[in-house]
Amino acid sequence: MRTQVAIIGGGPSGLLLSQLLHTKGIASVVLERRSRDYVLSRIRAGILETGFVNLMREAGVAERMDRESYVHDGTVISYGNEEFEIDFKALTGTSVIVYGQTEVTRDLYDAAEADEGRVITEVSGVMPHDLETDAPYVTFMKDGKVIRLDCDYVAGCDGFHGVSRQQIPEDKRREFEKTYPFGWLGVLSETPPVHDELIYANSERGFALCSMRHANLSRYYVQCPLADKPEDWSDERFWQELKRRIPAHHAENLVTGPSIEKSIAPLRSFVCEPMRWGRLFLCGDAAHIVPPTGAKGLNTAASDVHYLYHGLVQFYEEKDNEGLDRYSEKALARIWKAERFSWWMTTLLHRFPDQTDFDLRIQRADLEFLRSNEAAQRVLAENYVGLPY
C-alpha cells in the first residue's frame, strides 16, 4: 500500500486531519486499532473553541454541528453560594459551542466512508519505521496478515499510550508532567441541564461542574479521591454530593435521574518536546495532556491539526518545508499557554489535600478578584474561547 500521509489513530484528531487533507487532494490512510462502534461509544468532552468549529467547516463536515450544537456565550463560576458570570461574548466578541466529541467523531467517520479505504479499523501491531529517512513506512496487522503502508509522512494521533511518541529516542525526548491528587467522577444522565450555561463550582467539599450535551442530556462532575471507583458512588450519593457543592438555588432546581454512564478520570498535565522527529509528527494526546478544567483537551488537538495540515498543504502545493519544519515550535508555543490556563483553572477551583488556611484564603481572594475585575475576566474569557492559531 502507498499513501502520502499515514495517520496512526482514528480518534477526532486523526480523522479531522485526514478529512482536511482530503479536501486538498492529499491522500491519507488512518489506522485505528478499535472498531468504529467502540470509538463512538467513548464519552468525551463537549466544548469546542471557535478555531475547532472553523476547522470542521473547512473540512466540510459542519452541517450537523451547525444545526444541532448549542452556543454558549459565557459561563458561571461559583464559590459557596456566591456566583458570577464570565460573559465571553461581551468580553471577546466570540463564544464556544457545546457539541460532544462523540458527535464530532461520528461526523468525521461518516465523511470518510465516502472515500473507501481511507480509514482502516481493527488493526493491531501498528509500528512506524525509518522515520529519519525519506522513505518512512508503517506496518500493521489486519485479518491475520502483515501489511506495509509506504508514505511520505507519519502523523501520530494515537493518544498518550500509543506507539508514536515512543519512536522519539529517549535522549532526544523531554517530557514534562504534573499529576493532581484527585480525579473527576463524571455522570451522564438523560435530564435537562440545571442551567443554560456551564457552572464551575468551588466548594468546601471540592470542585463540581454542571454541563450538558443537549436539552435532555446532562453531564455532571464532582472532584473525588483517586482511590475511589465508580461503583463506590451510587446515583443517590452522587446527586446528594453535587447538590452540596453548587449554590443552593441551583441545587433546588436540579433534576436528577438514573445515570447512563459513570466513570472516574485522573487529572494530569503532560507535554512532550519535541513534537516532530524526522518524518513523524505528534498530534493531540500523543504529545500533551491537560486537566479537563479549562475544556482544552480536544481543542489543543485541533490546534495541532491546524498547524500540521497547513504545513502539509504548504509542502505538497508549494514544495515549501517551512510549515513542517516549524510545526513543533508553533504547536508547543500554543500548547504551553493552554497548559498554563488549564493548570490555573484547576488550582483556582479545586480543593487540594495539602492546602493550608493561607492557601484557602488566597484561593478565595483570587476568585473575588476575578469577580470584580473586568481585565481578569477578559483574560479568562480569551483563553476559554481559544487563543488564536
Q: Which residues are catalytic?
A: 72, 200, 292, 296, 384
262 burial level (CB within 10 Å; 0-12, 13-18, 19+)? middle
CA–CA gap between residue 147 and residue 141 (Å, rounded): 6
Residues 6+ apart with CB under 8 A from 63: none
CA–CA gap between residue 375 and residue 295 (Å, rounded): 21
Alpha-carbon distances, residue 83 vs 99, 203, 210, 366 (angstroms) = 25, 11, 14, 14
- Please give the grid coordinates belonging to residue 89: 461574548
Nearest to 99, CA basis, from 91, 88, 90, 108: 108
Alpha-carbon distances, residue 276 vs 153, 240, 243 (angstroms) = 11, 47, 46
Q: Write the secondary structure of 95-145 as one string of H (helix), E (strand) and C (coil).
A: CEEECCHHHHHHHHHHHHCCCCCCEECCCEEEEEECCCCCCCEEEEEECCE
